Amino acid sequence: MAEAHFTVLGAGGFIGSRLVRHLRAEGLRCDAPARDDASLLQRPLGDVIYAIGLTADFRSRPLETVEAHVCVLRHLIAKADFRSLTYLSSTRVYSGSERTDEATRLQVNPNDASDLYNLSKLMGESLCLHGGHARMKVARLANIVGLRPDPDIFIDQLLEEGCRTGQVHLRTALQSKKDYLYIDDAVNLLTQIALSDAVGIFNVASGEGVTNAQVLAALEQHMGFSTSVAADAPLWEFTAIDMAKTIRSFGFAPQKFDNYFPVFLEQYRRKKGTVNP
């Protein structure tokens, strides 16, 4: 393991930067080339982790989204010298599906603008799996909880609202659920996937459905926010992420939400410079 050589693409983003930090802390060689580094095609890259992508702003930047998720990847597969490549995708691709195992048939609709994200990620996945390179892995990530520069996920947006106003007003039902995974668990698992001989698609999630009620209770207790819910708040449809393959392959045992979330909130409070409630 000490001889491994990683190249993290998209190292300036939330997941990419945490991967770089984790890999170097483990004593592993890890290159983090800048965007548009022309030397990428002129030297061995080792085990590549492809963390390039757009998330929150994909609707307003459709061309850049496809460029990041597909076009850069295609050029890399065709021209670069690497041992393996792990492509970071998303469990969003399971939207509308009754099953969430890695082999399930997925649903997309090109008439729906919000499906551009899923379509581009799935094209990236397909390129990895059928682009002619033998050591390709796809990691479908759930909602990752951790300190990040921009409020990309639902929990971050609630925290931003709470810090700004002291209140959080929920517009989706308390019983609504999402799958959240702590950043430390995510980077550990991604490292295992990238170093392993395993290939194909792997879910990177907790497999645990966390309700809005759990999130609000923690924000009240640990952040001191007052909370409310819209009277007509709709219920999110949620299908738990199937983690059987990942657990079987890597013995993955993620931390429970109730254990790591207070730790994350304390980190968030320190970052924002707020006092304990």
* Burial bucket for residue 62 (CB in 10 Å: 0-12, 13-18, 19+): middle
Please give the Cα distance from 268 to 264 (Å, whole number). 6
- Give the length of the chain: 277
> 234: closest CA among 154, 168, 169, 171?
171
Q: 134-174: per-residue pLDDT in tens?
A: 999 999 999 999 998 877 789 999 999 999 999 999 999 99
Strand 226-229 versus strand 167-170 pairing type:
parallel
pLDDT at 37: 87
Q: What is the pTM of this model?
A: 0.94
Helix locations, 139-211, DSSP H: 154-165, 183-195
Per-residue pLDDT at 57 = 79
Give 145-177+208-239+256-268's CATH code, choosing from 3.40.50.2000, 3.90.25.10, 3.40.50.12780, 2.40.50.1070.
3.90.25.10
Fold of 5-144+180-204: Rossmann fold (3.40.50)
What is the residue extent of each domain of the chain? Answer: 5-144+180-204, 145-177+208-239+256-268
Confidence band (pLDDT; 50, 70, 90) for 234? very high
Instruction: Report which secondary-structure segment, H or E, holds 267.
Output: helix 257-272
pLDDT at 274: 58
104-120 exposure pattern, b = at least 16 Cβ within 10 A, e = fewer: eeeebeeeeeebbbbbb
| pLDDT of 3 strictly over 90 | no
pLDDT in tens, 82-113: 999 999 999 999 998 999 999 999 999 999 99
Q: Does residue 251 register a pLDDT over 50?
A: yes
For residue 243, pLDDT over 60 is answered with yes
Distance CA 4, CA 76 (A): 20
The pLDDT > 70 percentage for the chain reads: 98
